[in-house]
Structure 1
Protein backbone atom coordinates (compact mmCIF):
# COMPACT_ATOMS: atom_id res chain seq x y z
CA UNK A 1 0.00 0.00 0.00
CA UNK A 2 2.04 2.97 1.19
CA UNK A 3 5.82 3.16 0.74
CA UNK A 4 6.35 3.36 4.51
CA UNK A 5 3.71 0.97 5.76
CA UNK A 6 4.23 1.98 9.39
CA UNK A 7 3.01 5.55 9.14
CA UNK A 8 -0.06 7.15 7.57
CA UNK A 9 0.19 9.95 5.03
CA UNK A 10 -1.64 13.19 5.69
CA UNK A 11 -3.39 14.46 8.78
CA UNK A 12 -5.70 12.57 11.10
CA UNK A 13 -9.22 13.59 10.09
CA UNK A 14 -11.50 11.18 11.99
CA UNK A 15 -11.44 8.38 14.56
CA UNK A 16 -14.27 5.99 15.36
CA UNK A 17 -14.98 2.49 16.58
CA UNK A 18 -16.10 -0.37 14.34
CA UNK A 19 -19.35 -1.70 15.82
CA UNK A 20 -21.32 -4.96 15.40
CA UNK A 21 -24.16 -3.22 13.51
CA UNK A 22 -21.69 -2.43 10.70
CA UNK A 23 -20.80 -6.05 9.86
CA UNK A 24 -21.49 -8.27 6.90
CA UNK A 25 -22.49 -11.96 7.09
CA UNK A 26 -18.85 -12.95 7.67
CA UNK A 27 -18.58 -10.73 10.74
CA UNK A 28 -16.26 -8.22 9.04
CA UNK A 29 -17.08 -4.55 8.67
CA UNK A 30 -18.97 -3.71 5.44
CA UNK A 31 -16.94 -2.10 2.66
CA UNK A 32 -19.74 0.46 2.29
CA UNK A 33 -19.30 1.52 5.92
CA UNK A 34 -15.58 1.96 5.30
CA UNK A 35 -16.34 4.06 2.21
CA UNK A 36 -18.68 6.26 4.22
CA UNK A 37 -15.98 6.83 6.85
CA UNK A 38 -13.53 7.83 4.10
CA UNK A 39 -16.10 10.19 2.57
CA UNK A 40 -16.80 11.83 5.93
CA UNK A 41 -13.08 12.37 6.52
CA UNK A 42 -12.43 13.66 3.00
CA UNK A 43 -15.47 15.91 3.20
CA UNK A 44 -14.15 17.50 6.40
CA UNK A 45 -10.85 18.37 4.73
CA UNK A 46 -12.51 19.56 1.50
CA UNK A 47 -14.89 21.80 3.48
CA UNK A 48 -11.98 23.31 5.41
CA UNK A 49 -10.02 23.94 2.21
CA UNK A 50 -12.94 25.43 0.28
CA UNK A 51 -14.31 27.42 3.19
CA UNK A 52 -17.89 26.23 2.68
CA UNK A 53 -20.27 23.67 1.24
CA UNK A 54 -18.91 20.80 -0.83
CA UNK A 55 -20.30 17.73 -2.57
CA UNK A 56 -18.68 14.42 -3.36
CA UNK A 57 -18.56 14.01 -7.14
CA UNK A 58 -16.54 10.83 -7.60
CA UNK A 59 -14.22 8.24 -6.18
CA UNK A 60 -11.24 7.87 -8.52
CA UNK A 61 -9.92 4.77 -6.81
CA UNK A 62 -10.41 2.62 -3.76
CA UNK A 63 -8.45 -0.41 -2.63
CA UNK A 64 -9.41 -2.69 0.24
CA UNK A 65 -6.38 -4.63 1.49
CA UNK A 66 -7.45 -6.13 4.82
CA UNK A 67 -10.69 -6.63 6.73
CA UNK A 68 -11.76 -4.40 9.60
CA UNK A 69 -13.02 -6.23 12.68
CA UNK A 70 -15.58 -5.27 15.31
CA UNK A 71 -13.85 -3.33 18.06
CA UNK A 72 -11.08 -1.95 15.85
CA UNK A 73 -10.30 1.74 16.30
CA UNK A 74 -10.70 3.16 12.78
CA UNK A 75 -8.63 6.22 11.85
CA UNK A 76 -8.92 8.15 8.58
CA UNK A 77 -5.98 10.20 7.36
CA UNK A 78 -5.98 12.45 4.33
CA UNK A 79 -4.20 15.03 2.25
CA UNK A 80 -5.27 17.23 -0.62
CA UNK A 81 -3.31 16.38 -3.75
CA UNK A 82 -4.99 18.72 -6.23
CA UNK A 83 -7.07 21.88 -6.19
CA UNK A 84 -8.77 22.95 -9.38
CA UNK A 85 -10.95 26.00 -9.98
CA UNK A 86 -13.95 24.42 -8.19
CA UNK A 87 -12.70 20.94 -7.30
CA UNK A 88 -10.36 19.17 -4.90
CA UNK A 89 -8.86 15.67 -4.91
CA UNK A 90 -8.24 14.15 -1.51
CA UNK A 91 -6.07 11.06 -1.00
CA UNK A 92 -7.31 9.07 1.99
CA UNK A 93 -5.99 6.19 4.03
CA UNK A 94 -7.90 4.13 6.56
CA UNK A 95 -5.81 2.63 9.36
CA UNK A 96 -6.97 0.47 12.24
CA UNK A 97 -5.65 -0.22 15.68
CA UNK A 98 -6.98 -3.55 16.91
CA UNK A 99 -8.06 -3.69 20.53
CA UNK A 100 -9.03 -7.20 21.62
CA UNK A 101 -9.16 -8.84 25.02
CA UNK A 102 -7.45 -5.88 26.67
CA UNK A 103 -4.52 -5.93 24.21
CA UNK A 104 -3.83 -2.99 21.89
CA UNK A 105 -2.22 -4.20 18.67
CA UNK A 106 -0.05 -2.38 16.16
CA UNK A 107 -1.90 -0.10 13.77
CA UNK A 108 -1.99 -1.06 10.11
CA UNK A 109 -3.42 0.27 6.86
CA UNK A 110 -6.52 -1.45 5.51
CA UNK A 111 -7.76 0.80 2.71
CA UNK A 112 -6.79 3.75 0.55
CA UNK A 113 -8.82 5.89 -1.84
CA UNK A 114 -9.00 9.12 -3.78
CA UNK A 115 -12.23 11.11 -3.40
CA UNK A 116 -13.09 14.15 -5.51
CA UNK A 117 -15.15 17.06 -4.21
CA UNK A 118 -16.61 20.22 -5.71
CA UNK A 119 -17.21 23.44 -3.78
CA UNK A 120 -20.79 24.65 -4.18
CA UNK A 121 -22.70 27.82 -3.39
CA UNK A 122 -26.05 28.19 -1.58
CA UNK A 123 -27.86 27.22 -4.81
CA UNK A 124 -25.86 24.02 -5.25
CA UNK A 125 -23.83 25.40 -8.17
CA UNK A 126 -20.06 25.04 -8.40
CA UNK A 127 -18.13 27.95 -6.94
CA UNK A 128 -14.42 28.76 -7.04
CA UNK A 129 -12.17 27.32 -4.35
CA UNK A 130 -10.16 30.05 -2.66
CA UNK A 131 -6.58 28.91 -3.25
CA UNK A 132 -4.61 31.70 -1.62
CA UNK A 133 -2.76 30.73 1.52
CA UNK A 134 -3.48 26.99 1.27
CA UNK A 135 -1.00 24.73 2.97
CA UNK A 136 -3.33 21.74 2.49
CA UNK A 137 -1.88 20.57 -0.83
CA UNK A 138 0.61 17.72 -0.51
Structure 2
Protein backbone atom coordinates (compact mmCIF):
# COMPACT_ATOMS: atom_id res chain seq x y z
CA UNK A 1 0.00 0.00 0.00
CA UNK A 2 1.29 3.48 -0.83
CA UNK A 3 0.16 6.88 0.34
CA UNK A 4 -0.92 9.54 -2.11
CA UNK A 5 1.88 11.99 -2.82
CA UNK A 6 1.02 15.68 -2.49
CA UNK A 7 2.61 18.19 -4.89
CA UNK A 8 5.61 20.01 -3.38
CA UNK A 9 9.23 20.80 -4.11
CA UNK A 10 11.82 18.15 -3.21
CA UNK A 11 14.87 19.13 -1.21
CA UNK A 12 16.93 16.50 -3.03
CA UNK A 13 16.52 14.46 -6.21
CA UNK A 14 18.87 11.63 -7.10
CA UNK A 15 19.11 8.46 -9.19
CA UNK A 16 20.96 5.58 -7.49
CA UNK A 17 23.95 3.97 -9.20
CA UNK A 18 24.51 0.24 -9.81
CA UNK A 19 26.98 0.26 -6.88
CA UNK A 20 24.04 1.20 -4.59
CA UNK A 21 22.15 -2.04 -5.32
CA UNK A 22 22.08 -5.10 -3.04
CA UNK A 23 21.94 -8.80 -3.97
CA UNK A 24 18.11 -8.65 -4.17
CA UNK A 25 18.21 -5.96 -6.86
CA UNK A 26 17.04 -3.25 -4.45
CA UNK A 27 18.84 -0.14 -3.29
CA UNK A 28 20.64 -0.47 0.07
CA UNK A 29 18.65 0.89 3.01
CA UNK A 30 21.77 2.68 4.24
CA UNK A 31 21.97 4.57 0.96
CA UNK A 32 18.38 5.74 1.40
CA UNK A 33 19.10 6.78 4.99
CA UNK A 34 22.12 8.81 3.84
CA UNK A 35 20.00 10.68 1.26
CA UNK A 36 17.43 11.45 3.97
CA UNK A 37 20.14 12.74 6.30
CA UNK A 38 21.54 14.99 3.56
CA UNK A 39 18.11 16.48 2.77
CA UNK A 40 17.23 16.90 6.44
CA UNK A 41 20.58 18.57 7.06
CA UNK A 42 19.90 21.09 4.29
CA UNK A 43 16.57 22.08 5.83
CA UNK A 44 17.96 22.11 9.39
CA UNK A 45 21.00 24.20 8.41
CA UNK A 46 18.75 26.79 6.75
CA UNK A 47 16.49 26.98 9.80
CA UNK A 48 19.43 27.10 12.25
CA UNK A 49 21.36 29.61 10.13
CA UNK A 50 24.50 27.55 10.56
CA UNK A 51 25.96 24.11 11.21
CA UNK A 52 23.86 21.27 12.58
CA UNK A 53 24.39 17.64 13.56
CA UNK A 54 22.01 14.70 13.38
CA UNK A 55 21.36 13.40 16.89
CA UNK A 56 18.39 11.05 16.49
CA UNK A 57 16.28 9.22 13.95
CA UNK A 58 12.87 7.88 14.89
CA UNK A 59 11.76 4.47 13.63
CA UNK A 60 11.52 4.07 9.88
CA UNK A 61 9.72 1.47 7.83
CA UNK A 62 10.64 0.67 4.25
CA UNK A 63 7.27 0.48 2.50
CA UNK A 64 8.46 -0.49 -0.97
CA UNK A 65 11.93 -1.10 -2.42
CA UNK A 66 13.82 1.38 -4.54
CA UNK A 67 14.92 -0.09 -7.84
CA UNK A 68 17.83 0.76 -10.09
CA UNK A 69 16.91 3.71 -12.34
CA UNK A 70 14.18 4.99 -10.01
CA UNK A 71 14.25 8.76 -9.56
CA UNK A 72 14.29 9.43 -5.82
CA UNK A 73 12.76 12.62 -4.43
CA UNK A 74 13.41 13.49 -0.80
CA UNK A 75 11.05 15.93 0.91
CA UNK A 76 11.78 17.53 4.26
CA UNK A 77 10.01 20.04 6.48
CA UNK A 78 10.54 21.38 9.99
CA UNK A 79 7.96 19.70 12.19
CA UNK A 80 9.08 20.97 15.59
CA UNK A 81 11.54 23.51 17.04
CA UNK A 82 13.14 23.32 20.43
CA UNK A 83 15.68 25.63 22.06
CA UNK A 84 18.68 24.05 20.27
CA UNK A 85 17.08 21.32 18.17
CA UNK A 86 14.88 20.85 15.13
CA UNK A 87 12.72 17.84 14.30
CA UNK A 88 12.63 17.42 10.53
CA UNK A 89 9.97 15.18 8.92
CA UNK A 90 11.51 13.48 5.88
CA UNK A 91 9.72 11.48 3.21
CA UNK A 92 11.22 9.59 0.27
CA UNK A 93 9.28 9.01 -2.95
CA UNK A 94 10.40 6.86 -5.89
CA UNK A 95 9.37 7.54 -9.48
CA UNK A 96 9.68 4.40 -11.56
CA UNK A 97 11.52 4.46 -14.86
CA UNK A 98 8.23 4.32 -16.81
CA UNK A 99 6.98 7.30 -14.71
CA UNK A 100 3.69 5.45 -14.16
CA UNK A 101 3.47 6.29 -10.45
CA UNK A 102 5.15 7.96 -7.53
CA UNK A 103 5.57 5.52 -4.66
CA UNK A 104 6.21 6.47 -1.05
CA UNK A 105 9.29 4.51 -0.01
CA UNK A 106 9.85 5.57 3.59
CA UNK A 107 9.58 8.45 6.03
CA UNK A 108 11.08 9.36 9.37
CA UNK A 109 11.58 12.08 11.91
CA UNK A 110 15.20 13.23 12.19
CA UNK A 111 16.40 15.45 15.03
CA UNK A 112 19.21 17.93 14.39
CA UNK A 113 21.00 20.16 16.90
CA UNK A 114 22.40 23.57 16.02
CA UNK A 115 26.16 23.79 16.66
CA UNK A 116 28.43 26.65 17.65
CA UNK A 117 32.05 27.12 16.53
CA UNK A 118 33.25 24.63 19.17
CA UNK A 119 30.74 22.00 17.96
CA UNK A 120 28.58 22.39 21.09
CA UNK A 121 24.79 22.91 21.01
CA UNK A 122 23.71 26.52 20.56
CA UNK A 123 20.35 28.26 20.70
CA UNK A 124 18.37 28.46 17.47
CA UNK A 125 17.78 31.93 16.05
CA UNK A 126 14.34 33.43 16.69
CA UNK A 127 11.70 32.88 14.01
Q: What's the TM-score once normalised by structure 2's chain length?
A: 0.93
The answer to whether structure 1 residue 128 and structure 2 residue 126 are counterparts is: no
The answer to whether structure 1 residue 58 and structure 2 residue 56 are counterparts is: yes
- 1:112 alignment partner, one of 107, 110, 116: 107
The residue number in structure 2 matching 1:41 is 39
- In structure 1, stretches of 5+ residues that fail to align are 133-138
- Residue deviations 1:42-61 (CA, integer Å, cap 9, x gap): 00000000000000001022
Contact 1:8–1:95, Cα closer than 8 Å, also in 2:
no
Aligned equivalents of 1:96, 1:131: Cα separation in 2? 35
Q: CA RMSD in A?
A: 1.6
Per-residue deviation, 1:9: 7.9
- Residue deviations 1:37-85 (CA, integer Å, cap 9, x gap): 0000000000000000000001022111100000000000111111000
Aligned equivalents of 2:124, 2:21: Cα separation in 1? 37
- Find the residue that maps to 2:41 and give its secondary structure: helix
Contact 1:61–1:113, Cα closer than 8 Å, also in 2:
yes
- Find the residue that maps to 1:40 and give its secondary structure: helix
Aligned equivalents of 1:51, 1:6: Cα separation in 2? 32
The aligned length equals 127
Contact 1:9–1:79, Cα closer than 8 Å, also in 2:
no
- 2:65 alignment partner, one of 64, 67, 79: 67
- In structure 2, stretches of 5+ residues that fail to align are none
- Find the residue that maps to 1:108 and give its secondary structure: strand
Aligned equivalents of 2:45, 2:7: Cα separation in 1? 19
Per-residue deviation, 1:11: 4.5
- Compare the two structures and name the one with the higher strand fraction: 1
Per-residue deviation, 1:27: 1.3
